[in-house]
Amino acid sequence: MTTMVAGLAFQCLQQDGTMRPTMEQVVKELKEIQNEEQKCQYYNYREETVTPHPSPPDWGEAALIQNTKFPRSPISVTEQWTSKSTTPNTSAYSC
């Protein structure tokens, strides 16, 4: 909400008068912003008051992961790498 009001205020501060909204447009925009804020507050209240039905324990993500057999990591990932070369800190291409 604050960002929307700030954006509207920025439009009102334009040097060129043709770029500034009329007072009727400002009032209309402020009312729309206020209505959006009220909708957000209403839906946030509804989400807080409604409790979802619990799922069976074997449907949860944790249960799915626990029951899944994952393949082992390839040796190239699990073994220590030995390398004598280093990567330069700067790019070879300069802008």
55-77 pLDDT per residue, tens: 555 555 666 566 666 666 666 55
Whether 15 is in a domain gets the answer: yes
- Where b means 16+ CB within 10 Å and e means fewer, 75-89 reads eeeeeeeeeeeeeee
Residue 51 has pLDDT above 60, yes or no: no
Q: How far apart are CA 21 and CA 27, in angstroms?
A: 10
Whether 58 is in a domain gets the answer: no
Residue 94 has pLDDT above 60, yes or no: no
Task: Provide the domain limits for residue 32.
Answer: 2-49
Whether 57 is in a domain gets the answer: no
Contact yes or no for 5/33 (Cβ under 8 A): yes
Whether 16 is in a domain gets the answer: yes
Whether 56 is in a domain gets the answer: no
22-37 pLDDT per residue, tens: 999 999 999 998 888 8
Whether 35 is in a domain gets the answer: yes
Whether 80 is in a domain gets the answer: no
Q: How far apart are CA 78 and CA 90, in angstroms?
A: 29
| pLDDT of 93 | 47
Q: How far apart are CA 17 and CA 7, in angstroms?
A: 16
Higher pLDDT, 36 or 89: 36
- Counting the structural domains of the chain, the total is 1
Whether 68 is in a domain gets the answer: no
